[in-house]
Chain A
Amino acid sequence: MFQPLDPLLHSELRLAIVSLLISVEEAEFPYIKEQTGATAGNLSVQLDKLSTAGYIDVEKTFKGKKPCTLCRMTDKGREAFEAYVEALKSYLVVKN
């Protein structure tokens, strides 16, 4: 039986962001942009969506005089990611 996939994570860019953040403590905006290959505007929109859902924490701070955006996963985000991977398994098992 197929399990429902979280629509918030079932998007290329948002899934890439969450997969990137899951293995690190926190990451800066330019790093996520470089790793995902997304544009700054699109990335900002997707980060906002994930932040509104409570999946990630976005902290706006300063690095010297330059503004710096830090993103980190929340416990809710980790749980959602785990559930997403579990749901994904059900699709792959049925197909195999």
Chain B
Amino acid sequence: MEEKKHLTAERSLEIITEQIEQSRKAVAKDTGLSLYIAGLCTMGMAILIGICIFFTVNTTYYLLYVSLPLVIYGVDRYVKRNIPKVPENFVGTMVNRTWLTFGIFTVSFFVFANLYHFLMSHTESPEIYSRLMIHPFRIILLLMGMAITINGYTLKSRWMVACGIIGGIGGFIWESFYVTQTLVGWLGSYTNSNYCGITFGIIPGIIVAIFAFIGLTLPGMMLKNK
């Protein structure tokens, strides 16, 4: 930008508008890239965990989700290593903090639910255990739907709000009425291990991947390319 002696009022106004708009776009693009990375990492993790559970029928692999925030942080830092750090504005801060809050609540709840299952399965009879079981997946879907809806309002994206509400409440109802298990049970012709692999591995993985795509990757892509 050159220094000019005679700066008109119109040109001054133009510079102010241009810079504010440019800054807004740069922040939106950076937030978009972060969301995009988070979405791809979540989708990758969901697919990886799904595959592991399908082949081993061992649900301990779910614990890999705990490492997701660290994976996202690492990939984000790596991708942005050569890009000048973009400052945060109000919208960027709101979007990041919504996902951060969601992450803290989800990971804490997930860890608590797993600890609870571990203790209950070792201290209570199978009958009591089955009645007192916590189903974390439906609550996580509800929280994820809330996070997507709030971000939809922040980013002024109606379809994101709709996806968040439908996905969050729909996912909660889907899981509460054991639709996945019922559907897989109807298929009937699978062996016992395949049944478990599909029920506890592939289908939740697909649902998480779809949610991550709608709630993170897609809005990220939109913001990034704006």
Q: Could you say which residues of chain B place their CB within 8 Å of the CB of A35? A: 19, 22-23, 26
Chain A minimum-CB-distance residue to B86:
A31
Q: Are A31 and B85 in contact (CB under 8 A)?
A: yes
Kindly identify, within residues 101 to 160 of chain B, every residue whose CB is under 8 Å from any CB belonging to chain A. Answer: none
Q: What number of B residues sit within 8 Å (CB to CB) of A?
A: 26
Contact among B16, B26, B85 with A15 in the assembled complex (CB-CB below 8 Å): B16
Contact among B2, B16, B84, B89 with A31 in the assembled complex (CB-CB below 8 Å): B84
Q: Output the least CB separation between A88 and chain B (Å).
A: 5
Chain B minimum-CB-distance residue to A95:
B9
Q: Are A12 and B20 in contact (CB under 8 A)?
A: no
Q: State in angstroms the CA–CA spacing of A10 and B6 once bound together.
A: 9
Chain A minimum-CB-distance residue to B93:
A25
Q: State in angstroms the CA–CA spacing of A55 and B23 once bound together.
A: 19
Kindly identify, within residues 29 to 75 of chain A, every residue whose CB is under 8 Å from any CB belonging to chain B. Answer: 30-31, 33-38, 42
Q: Are A23 and B9 in contact (CB under 8 A)?
A: no
- Given A11-B3, A13-B3 in contact, is the A19-B19 Cβ separation under 8 Å? yes
Q: Could you say which residues of chain A place their CB within 8 Å of the CB of B189? A: none
Q: Could you say which residues of chain A place their CB within 8 Å of the CB of B16? A: 15, 19, 85
Which residues in B have some Cβ–Cβ distance to A below 8 Å? Answer: 1-4, 7, 9-13, 15-16, 18-20, 22-24, 26-27, 84-89
User: Can you identify 29 A-B contacts, CB atoms within 8 angstroms?
Assistant: A5-B12, A11-B3, A12-B1, A12-B2, A12-B3, A12-B4, A12-B7, A12-B11, A13-B3, A15-B7, A15-B15, A19-B16, A19-B20, A20-B20, A22-B20, A24-B23, A24-B27, A24-B89, A25-B87, A31-B26, A35-B19, A35-B23, A35-B26, A36-B19, A42-B3, A91-B9, A92-B9, A92-B10, A95-B9
Which residues in A have some Cβ–Cβ distance to B below 8 Å? Answer: 5, 10-13, 15-16, 19-20, 22-28, 30-31, 33-38, 42, 85, 88, 91-92, 95
